[in-house]
Each structure stands twice: as C-alpha cells, then as structure tokens.
Amino acid sequence: MDQKQTPLLDAIESFIKEEPAFFRIPGHRFERGVDRKALELFGDRAYRADLTEAEGLDDLHQPTGPILEAEKLAADLFGSDRCWFLVNGTTCGNQAMILATVGEGEKILVPRNAHKSVMMGLILSGAKPVWINPEYIEDFGISGPVDPLAVEEALEEDPEIKAVFLVSPTYYGICSDLKEIADICHKRQIPLLVDEAHGSHLCFSEDLPKSALQAGADLVAQSTHKTLGSMTQSSMLHIRSSLVDEVKVDKALKLVMSTSPNYLLMGSLDAARHLMAEHGEEHMERTVAMAEVIRKELEELTDVRILHRPDMDPTRIVLSAIDAGITGYEFQKRLYETGRVSTELSDSQNVVCVLTWGNTGEDVRRLIQTIKRVMQRHCAECLQFGSTDVEPVEDVEQLNLPQVAVTPREAYFSETEVVPLAYSIGRVAAESITPYPPGVPILYPGETVTREVYEKAMFCLSHKLEIHGPADKTLNTLRVIMNRELKL
C-alpha cells in the first residue's frame, strides 16, 4: 500500500475548506462558539477539525471510506490482518480482546501486573481469571517478564483456560518472550492477547525487542499516543489470527467504544502512522542513541542505579537512587523542583523516563544535569546533617497470588456493605484498590482481603499515592460482599 497517503487527514481538511453551513453536533460550530481563553490556548484550527460523522468523513463504527482506508494503511504498516482505530484508549482495546475470546464462566490466564482495564473486561465478560505472577526483579522491586515455562505449566494444570493475556512491555519496559509463549498457546489452539500499550514503536527498529505482532500474538492493543505521535487517548487494536473471530472483536468494540468518536484523535492516528511509515526507522535510531547517552552519563554516578536487561526496551529509562536513601517518590519530586524535569512514573524505589524522538538534545542535557545536581545536593545534605537509611520496599504490584472467592463480575453485582478497612481482612471485596500510576490493582472485586493487601493499602496511603477503585478515597472503609466471608 502507498504509505504516503493520509486519507482521513485529507478528508477532514477537505470538509473544513468547503465551509459548510453547519447544523450538526458538536455545538461549538467550528471556532465560532468557543470561549476566548480556549481559543487562545488551543487555537481555532483544533476546533475546526473537531467534527462528527459529516459528509465524506465516514463512521468509525461502520467505516467504508477514509477511516477504513486509514485503518488498512495502519494494518499494512504494523503487520496485522486488520486494525481498528480506538478513541477510548487501550483500555477499550483490552476490554474488547477479553470480550471477544472468553465469556461467562470461561477461564483466562492473566498476569498479576495487568492494568486495571483487564478487571473491567473481566467484569463485562464474566470470565474467570486464572492468575500467574511474573518474575520479580528484586534489585529494583518491580515485576519482570512472564516465564514461558510458567505459562506452559498453567495451561497443563488447567485445560479449561481459553485464552492467555499478557502485558509486554511493562510500564518499566520489560518484555516477555512472546514468540515462545505464542508457540505454547498455539499448540493448544489458545489465542494470545497482548496489552502492548507501551510498545507501539517496537516494530520500527531492529535495536528494539520484537513487537507482539512480530512475535505471533493473535490480538494486540497499542497505545499509539504513549510512544508514537498521536494524541492522548488514541490507540489501535490489531488482529492477526486464525483462532479469533474478527466479527466478535468488532462487536465487542461496539460495546465499549464511544459512539461519538473524536476526529482529532482519529486524524492523529492517521498522521502518526504516516510519520512512522516515512521516518520511523530514523526516529527510533535517534531515540535509542539518546537513551545510550543518558545511560553512559549516569553510569558514572555511584549512587544512581540504571536498569539494564537484555529483554528491556532501551528507550525506557528506569533509575533508582535508593542506595543514597532517596525513594522513587522523593527522587521524582526533586527532579521537578530542581530542574523542571517531569518524569512519567515513580514508585517506592524508582523513577521512569519515557524517551521518544520528540525529545531534544536539550531535554537530555537537562535530565542528566538535573540528576547530577539532585545527587550533589543530597550528598552535601548528608555531610551536613548525616545520612538517612531507607529500607527498600517491594513495589505495590508485587503480591502473592490472591484468594479468589467469586468472579469479578459476580462481586461487582453483589449486595454489599461498608466496613472499616482494618475489619475487611477475611472478607470478599466488592471493589478494587488500584494505585495510579501504574494502574495495577492490588485487590480485585471477588478476592479475599488478606493482611498483605491491607499492608499494601496502608503503604499507598502513607506515601499519598493516588488510589482508584474504592468509593471511599480515604480508604478508611471498603465495600465487601454482604454475608460472604472466608477463613484464612
């Protein structure tokens, strides 16, 4: 296919140039009905392109024109049989993958470090999760890859498992051996679903791990906005499979995706695909080179550790100053206060930086210099006031496999009562507890609250982490299933 084309962008531009008398939704009527402050901030062209399914612009839920052509170009570039544009982020892609492959009471193998959108898919489908723990990277206190042998053993132990769901890369850039896991699944005629939210860029360089599609995954959801050039909330879902019914995927998406899709988001997907088709390889070469500069410079710092692994995306920079007594939360705060360096994620030990070709040499210089300034200032403080030892704490996503009492769907629709969190131990949760980011639940609906979960929740509160899931945001109380209790 001619990857120089931009069918959706061209259709949007053509409609704007026609200057129609507009009696459709949205109500702002191009830029004419917009607040002055918004126009000054966003510009009038953004509002002109904020359209609906007008003449010549196609329909995302039943595409036959420029949207379909843009999706075909994306499928061709990324190597899938079909691509769907998503305007509800990879969240709806994950939900659709689950809905299309497992139904009420059917089992799906899921790693414990899966994003909370998987929980939503389990609630919608009624499927039963069979949990598996990924490897644990002790030096950094984070989840690593899923061992193919662990997948094979799980499938042998439970032949009722209908699908396997994996997260690769993780938020920290760790990739599982998807080729081997895909082979294990396919020998049993089981589809492999991959949340590749952090890996839409992987297919554009041989210096990066193989993408999920290259490795043989059947369904892959990508956050194009996270590591490529589309707008926030725009993603793609790909299929390349003889095991998954494409019609079921399409129907599932219609359940979970907005019927009022944003043309700015869809147009940005067309643009991101076009950019990578023309310049993807050179952009990724530059990104990897910048990452190498950062690692080389920071390796000289004795109190800063950098995660190095052969199964890791090199454009994801994971740093730890825990050896100097600085937690990841404090490290992230100091980087911004010292040099206005804004990083993606922090946890009890680490700070994560996401690098793309959009970063400049000045960005790289500021990151390196600010880290050095933070460490120098900390060293001076230690000399003056004495050092403070910090006991490394396991990342909150690292938990023993849960005690599952009922499916997430059954728990979600059960009668509930509110109890103090301390008294919820031994009860079956009716809601989740999810530190955000990274958005990995430490408790799912339908699981028994254990002492370990309670302690992790207290850790989240003490470190003032954002908590998604519970109705009581203070976590003083938790909703549990009425008259349901298991002895521990």
DSSP assignment of 311-376, as one string? TB-TTEEEEE-GGGT--HHHHHHHHHHHH----SEE-SSEEEEE--TTS-HHHHHHHHHHHHHHHH
* Residues 228 and 360 occupy one common structural domain: no
**Identity (one letter) of the amino acid at 367?**
L
Torsion of CA 117, 121, 124, 126, to 10 degrees: -130
User: What is the CATH classification number for the domain harbouring 111?
Assistant: 3.40.640.10
State the CATH number of the domain containing residue 291.
3.90.1150.150
- Is 114 contained in some domain? yes
86 and 171: one domain?
Answer: yes
Q: What is the pLDDT of residue 487?
A: 42
Examine the domain organization and report whether 152 and 80 are in the same domain.
yes
Residue 289 sits in the same domain as residue 415: no
Q: CA torsion 133→135→140→142, rounded to 10°?
A: -30
Tens of each residue's pLDDT in the chain, 488 residues? 899 999 999 999 999 999 999 999 999 989 999 999 999 999 999 999 999 999 999 999 999 999 999 999 999 999 999 999 999 999 999 999 999 999 999 999 999 999 999 999 999 999 999 999 999 998 998 999 999 999 999 999 999 999 999 999 999 999 999 999 999 999 999 999 999 999 999 999 999 999 999 999 999 999 999 999 999 999 999 999 999 999 999 999 999 999 999 999 999 999 999 999 999 999 999 999 999 999 999 998 989 999 999 999 999 999 999 999 999 999 999 999 999 999 999 998 999 999 999 999 999 999 999 999 999 998 887 766 666 666 555 555 566 788 888 999 999 999 999 999 999 999 999 999 988 778 788 899 999 999 989 988 888 888 788 889 999 988 999 999 997 554 43
pTM of the model: 0.91
Whether 341 is in a domain gets the answer yes
Distance set, CA 480 to CA 125, 211, 416, 447, 457 (Å) = 21, 40, 5, 10, 15
| Structure token pair of residue 421 | 């969190």
Query: In this predicted structure, what is the pLDDT of residue 486?
Result: 47
Residue 286 lies in a domain: yes
Same domain, 369 and 441: no
310 is a domain residue:
yes
pLDDT in the model for residue 341? 97
Residue 11 within any structural domain of the chain: no
Residue of 485, 419, 421 whose CA lies nearest to 457:
421
Q: How far apart are CA 280 and CA 14, in angstroms?
A: 27
Q: Tokens in use for 160?
A: 């009722």
Residue 67 belongs to some domain of the structure: yes
Are 220 and 98 in the same domain? Answer: yes
Q: Extract the tokens encoding 180.
A: 């081997």
Helices 178-187 and 148-157: crossing angle, nearest 10°?
A: 20
Which stretch of DSSP H or E encloses residue 178? helix 178-187
Could you tell me if 293 and 161 lie in one domain? no
Q: Mapped to the 3 state alphabet, what secondary structure does 213-276 carry?
A: HHHCCCEEEECHHHHCCCCCCCEEEEECCCCCCHHHHHHHHHHHCCCCCCHHHHHHHHHHHHHH
User: Is there a single domain that holds both residue 414 and residue 352?
Assistant: no
Domain count, the chain: 3
Query: 158 and 77, same structural domain?
Result: yes
Same domain, yes or no, for 369 and 431? no
Query: Beta strand pairing status for 107-111 and 161-167?
Result: parallel
Longest distance between any two alpha carbons in the chain, whole Å: 71
Final residue of a structural domain among 259, 289, 319: 259
d(CA 110, CA 99): 14
User: Which residues lie below 8 Å from residue 133, measured CB to CB, with a gap of 6+?
Assistant: 111, 112, 143, 150, 400, 401
Q: What is the CATH number of the domain that holds 446?
A: 3.90.100.10
Residue at 12 is within a domain: no
Q: What share of the chain is helix, strand, coil (3-state, %, to 5)?
A: 40, 15, 40
338 exposure class (CB count in 10 Å sphere: 0-12, 13-18, 19+)? middle
What was the pLDDT predicted at 424?
93
Q: For residues 155 and 146, give the distance between their C-alpha atoms in angstroms, rounded to a whole number.
A: 14
Compute the distance between CA of residue 424 and CA of residue 313 in angstroms, rounded to an integer.
40
Q: Does 376 lie in the same domain as 230?
A: no
Which helix H or strand E contains 110, and what residues bound it?
Answer: strand 107-111
359-372 burial: b if 16+ Cβ within 10 Å, else e: beeeebeebbebbb
Burial (0-12, 13-18, 19+ Cβ within 10 Å), 358? exposed
Give the residue among 137, 112, 113, 169 at the shortest CA–CA distance from 392. 137
94 in a structural domain = yes
Residues 249 and 285 in one domain: no
pLDDT at 462: 83
Non-local (6+) Cβ contacts of 264 within 8 A are 46, 49, 50, 231
Determine the structural domain holding residue 468 and report its residue range: 408-485
Phi, psi of 287 (to 5 degrees): -65, -45
Provide the pLDDT for residue 461. Answer: 85
- Among residues 385, 400, 429, the one where a domain terminates is 385
Question: Contact, 190 vs 162, CB < 8 A?
Answer: yes
End-to-end alpha-carbon separation of the chain, Å?
59
What pLDDT, on a 0 to 100 scale, did the predictor assign at position 393?
55
